[in-house]
Structure 1
């Protein structure tokens, strides 16, 4: 049986994410191609081969596929994307078989915002850099031994690969604590041109059927996946929509068909989230968008985020870069999302669906007023009491295939580095804590938090989901890799603080007790010295502060369960 090797270097692009705990469609579809042709498949992540070299596998494989590349920069906790140096090193390992490199790397290589992407064709010693679909390139090579770098597939062809390749998730080092990125469509749905920096607009728009998506989800669920995100889609709101003279109009019925099909395919689902939504769609079709958002909020799981690409709200920057919305349109979009998705589906849960905001600094047309306008917008959200799940501020990567790639770099330096940093610092210190406290106030319960890193008495973790919150959990017993429910005790600039939920009143540690607002060292010791505590009434008596006892009882479980939520 021939060997097919897949090396996952991780991907991050506007409409697809594949850094752990996410597993991207690219690697699953390539696995499906291998399996459909009778290959033995070995899947490794770049973090695995950093620990144990895979040279012998590359030498012996009939074909090696490397998936890599970033077209948007980010900060990652679950893994480190493959660098160009690492990719070049892999390409130079002697091999008897072919090597195909695919993913966003086909558009060029850049590692951080503000960088111009490098053309890797003269750097890598590979048989093919796929500028089309790597799974289609792979299939054609296996069938004909011809390398066609721009080979494409359609959704009819994709179905069997998507379903067969689902099994590869079991080889992921974080399995089963992974989230499967799902493809709904390709290309941008804008009918008025594309943003100056975006590579997604280069692709023709096409859409998968709900039945096809559900069939893949069913196979992934059988393989053990319980967390999913509609991430490979430029605008989830217009899935199944109608083209009008004003653009693509949302179809609540189309979204209902999609979400209900996926729910039926994976009845034990724990996470169902989305990613991208176009704020202009919401501003142009407010009523239909509200209905569509309500449909999403009725089928998803709490803590979902619709990522709105505002980029800049400075009018001349919007015009010069063909961005999506102006100030008032963006404000209306945030209001509508809050109205449709801001409720909490369960007691003390995260809200159903809230906006995430993306800002870009480093676009043509910027000047000192650009940041002032963006800041004024965020101040307006604060004053109106609106909630935002996350605010992402970055510099764009520039690719030759985009309009921005043809602009002289001097035209993108209207904002000084220190002003860019000052704006980010202001958002992190003045805006984020307020938004965190609105989204996840004290007492919010966040389920299935995966512990990742210990620092002293704190262990940091995140749940699976779309832009999951980072939690610093006060606990001396939790270990890296453990999963726990957490109740929020406070908010900081970049993370939430919390304790395991519910705390066993008779077995929790002093540090955990002191992690609860209002319980200091003296009260914690008093509770410990008076154990066992039989129930809420004894708890109140020991604490000697009925008001505080009523407030903090929600954090505990008692033998009689009187105080548990």
Structure 2
């Protein structure tokens, strides 16, 4: 870490409309970096590091942060989450840093500034638009008096692209792209932090395309249009008090991204209100087909259903219904659920939130009944996310059931819904490309693809963290799947890998391992004394 005038400490963020936990980098980081460049600072004047880098080398890095004139901390997790790629900064860590950094001026930025928290030892709590406060501090100039906020954001987004090269995950980094800020609903869900935002805007199509072009020129190949509450309402048109989806704008955006980043490997999205699909089915169908035309396989649109209990929906002002959500699931399966290279192009995810006002034990029964109906209707859902509410400001969580009941409910969903759903979404033999190993434990390694809500893949055998491999799916768990490296040469496989083959087990695996030089399925059949259906392995193994 070089001596710099300004240091950006990325504490990561996760809010309903945006994700910035590795392998993602939030737009807030790029906007802040762009604001510093716009204020006249050079690349040598600015240092960027993540909270995990800081934790790993705290003693040395705290001394170097002390040499900066300004330290900007970007933070804010307003939704519950479990992360493998990094751990967001805590309020305690923020305050400890603020207290210890007695020489530089400290600024706090990100979604945390909207949460109404009393934060000690920080010199400046920034305005909610990333970069605006620090720009004014450095230039004595309020840029918002000259330009619209959306124009400022487009400008800083383009200037801030080079910070991605300083991220420890680069180039295997998902660039979270913002299309608009804030929830367009007049009355917000009572538990959601989107309603805290006072400044809202819609970014321009050209501004987003220019940002992606700049990122791509630096070698970034992974993009997610994930920073908005409902992608279908990007550049929507208001008619008689209603926001009407704008298929032409979505087509121009997606085609433009593909034109300036022809070598991209991931183009995914996040966040759709299922009610928008149901209420504007004609426009929504066009948009879903457009997204599936230009995106990459494995895309997921999270549906914020949150509950199937009418009492809970009403008590919390949730902006959809059970009927509309089911219709949206059907439409997404029909218009964008087809497969490319064996993987669905775009499927819905269903978020179910517990601890909401109005809940009872019956809520869990209604949720399960809805999920069962989806499964039995042969509809695909990529992800079912059951979690507990993170109470913010004055919201009080309400649990109308015991911990035992909740645990039993989640197990029932796993047993009867999640596993059979995964078997349909990722059938045995499905090829997943570029799985990045994140962890290795004993005889099994774990990895994911880069993208939106990537499935966790368990891979038998030891692999180096960071290794990138293709895998073929051989088995399914509740929220993860098992895959073997592809191509899989049975004559070079380890015992752990052989044991994981469907129906093989330890004894057969040892016979295969000891034999080697297996020529084909007939030879394998002979080795196993004709007691195993070798045809099961035809698409999973090679005999090189």
- Which of these residues, 460, 465, 476, is aligned with residue 491 of structure 1? 476
**Cross-structure match for 1:399:** 392
Cα distance in 2 for residues equivalent to 1:508 and 1:258: 46
- Which of these residues, 226, 237, 240, is aligned with residue 221 of structure 2? 226
**Cross-structure match for 1:207:** 202
Cα distance in 1 for residues equivalent to 2:266 and 2:524: 36
Cα distance in 2 for residues equivalent to 1:501 and 1:300: 24
Cα distance in 1 for residues equivalent to 2:174 and 2:389: 26
1:244 partnered with 2:250: no
How far residue 232 of structure 1 moved from its aligned partner, in angstroms, is 0.7
Q: TM-score, normalised by structure 2?
A: 0.92
**Cross-structure match for 1:368:** 361
Contact 2:36 2:131 (C-alpha < 8 Å) held by counterparts: no
Contact 1:361 1:420 (C-alpha < 8 Å) held by counterparts: no
Q: 1:480 to 1:243 in 2, by over 3 A?
A: same
Mark the runs of 5 or more structure 1 residues left unpaired by the alignment.
109-117, 560-565
How far residue 225 of structure 1 moved from its aligned partner, in angstroms, is 1.4
**Cross-structure match for 1:58:** 65
1:74 partnered with 2:81: yes
RMSD: 2.5
- Which of these residues, 479, 483, 491, is aligned with residue 506 of structure 1? 491
How far residue 321 of structure 1 moved from its aligned partner, in angstroms, is 1.6
- Which of these residues, 38, 41, 44, is aligned with residue 46 of structure 2? 41
Q: TM-score, normalised by structure 1?
A: 0.89
Q: 1:420 to 1:264 in 2, by over 3 A?
A: same
Contact 1:506 1:531 (C-alpha < 8 Å) held by counterparts: yes
3-state DSSP of counterpart to 1:86: helix
Cα distance in 1 for residues equivalent to 2:228 and 2:471: 31
Contact 2:155 2:207 (C-alpha < 8 Å) held by counterparts: no
Aligned length in residues: 536
Cα distance in 2 for residues equivalent to 1:546 and 1:252: 57
Cα distance in 2 for residues equivalent to 1:388 and 1:448: 22
Q: Which residues of 2 match residues 55-454 of structure 1 at below 5 A? A: 55-108=62-115, 119-120=117-118, 123-144=119-140, 154-191=149-186, 193-201=187-195, 202-245=197-240, 247-346=242-341, 349-400=342-393, 405=394, 409=396, 412-454=398-440
3-state DSSP of counterpart to 1:173: coil
Instruction: Provide Cα deviations, 1:237-259, integer angstroms capped at 9, x if missing partner.
Output: 12233223473222322211111
Mark the runs of 5 or more structure 2 residues left unpaired by the alignment.
none
How far residue 155 of structure 1 moved from its aligned partner, in angstroms, is 2.2
Cα distance in 2 for residues equivalent to 1:262 and 1:298: 12
Contact 2:128 2:199 (C-alpha < 8 Å) held by counterparts: no
Q: 1:246 to 1:280 in 2, by over 3 A?
A: farther
Cα distance in 2 for residues equivalent to 1:334 and 1:276: 13
Instruction: Provide Cα deviations, 1:312-358, integer angstroms capped at 9, x if missing partner.
Output: 12112212221122221121111111112221112xx3211111111
**Cross-structure match for 1:562:** none
